Structure 1
């Protein structure tokens, strides 16, 4: 039996779908969550990160192109620059500070958006047994049009109890 991450589903939260008191800074922000089932709960985090990077669903430029089976880009970066070593382990507090800082940088969120983020993002951050953040790889790792995102935050959340790995991208463009 070949061990691999099994892609389960995707959730896309577009801030544009919610009514803000002030639209400044909110129109082109979103959170994308891809869920994968773990083949086994005893596989190491490095193995899981390697499997994620090698998965076809990881080949997403997050700029409208979607997943490309033969793609060479991931977010703003050339795929070749992303390795498990480029992910830094973080704790729940750091993950929450990062996400809250980004989501609330322009002010309070509409209650419906805050509730959806709590349900579909922060609950997973809390449940995760391991959390990783893709470090800023710098402009030298950008692909040919890699600077389109004003902000690009990527977390990998591993929940061994639920047998799930989440790839969470919070960005704006």
Structure 2
């Protein structure tokens, strides 16, 4: 099923690359987006979620190791416990609300960061036909050092008109 999706590109928005007015005392924050193409005749969302989970680009611990083709971790979770069933359909409004809350939790952002987040995150949410959120998998799903992230938000955006699945992870550590 991995052949259903073709890796296209990644975008990484690193909050440390922007000049904040006041020094930030919170952790390292970032948004990672992985874009994968799918053919027009692709099936239902569950099929696309399954193909995404099976794709090499999904094997990323988001803790500096990058994508590991034989990796056993996905973010803070054991890869084997991430299935299409743990993704919950979520509205554009709810996903934007969750991400806005996380983005703005420490106050105002530099204008350049706001503009980049609008383009890379919020415009993509608005364009998606379907959005899925990785729901809390519980303590048993967290791998041996998976608590490195203070916050870990994951969304899968399906944009059929563009033929693209975007894996969006927003986290801090």
Listed as ranges, the matches of 1:1-173 within 5 Å are 3-25=3-25, 28-173=28-173
TM-score calculated relative to the size of structure 2: 0.96
Distance 2:85 2:52 in 1: 13
Distance 1:88 1:35 in 2: 20
Deviates most, 23-32 or 124-133: 23-32
Using the TM superposition, give the Cα deviation of residue 42 of structure 1 relative to its aligned residue in structure 2, in angstroms. Answer: 4.2
**Could you tell me whether the CA contact under 8 Å between 1:61 and 1:73 is conserved in 2?**
yes
Using the TM superposition, give the Cα deviation of residue 51 of structure 1 relative to its aligned residue in structure 2, in angstroms. Answer: 0.1
- Which aligned segments of 4 or more residues in structure 1 are displaced greater than 6 angstroms? none
RMSD (Å) for aligned C-alpha atoms? 1.3
TM-score calculated relative to the size of structure 1: 0.96
Q: Report SS of the residue matched to 1:147.
A: helix
Distance 1:24 1:43 in 2: 45
**Could you tell me whether the CA contact under 8 Å between 1:16 and 1:26 is conserved in 2?**
no
Distance 2:29 2:104 in 1: 11
Distance 2:73 2:165 in 1: 21
Using the TM superposition, give the Cα deviation of residue 21 of structure 1 relative to its aligned residue in structure 2, in angstroms. Answer: 1.8
Q: Report SS of the residue matched to 1:7.
A: strand
Distance 2:58 2:42 in 1: 22
Q: Mind listing any 5+ residue stretches in structure 2 that lack a counterpart?
A: none
Q: Report SS of the residue matched to 1:167.
A: strand
Using the TM superposition, give the Cα deviation of residue 147 of structure 1 relative to its aligned residue in structure 2, in angstroms. Answer: 0.3
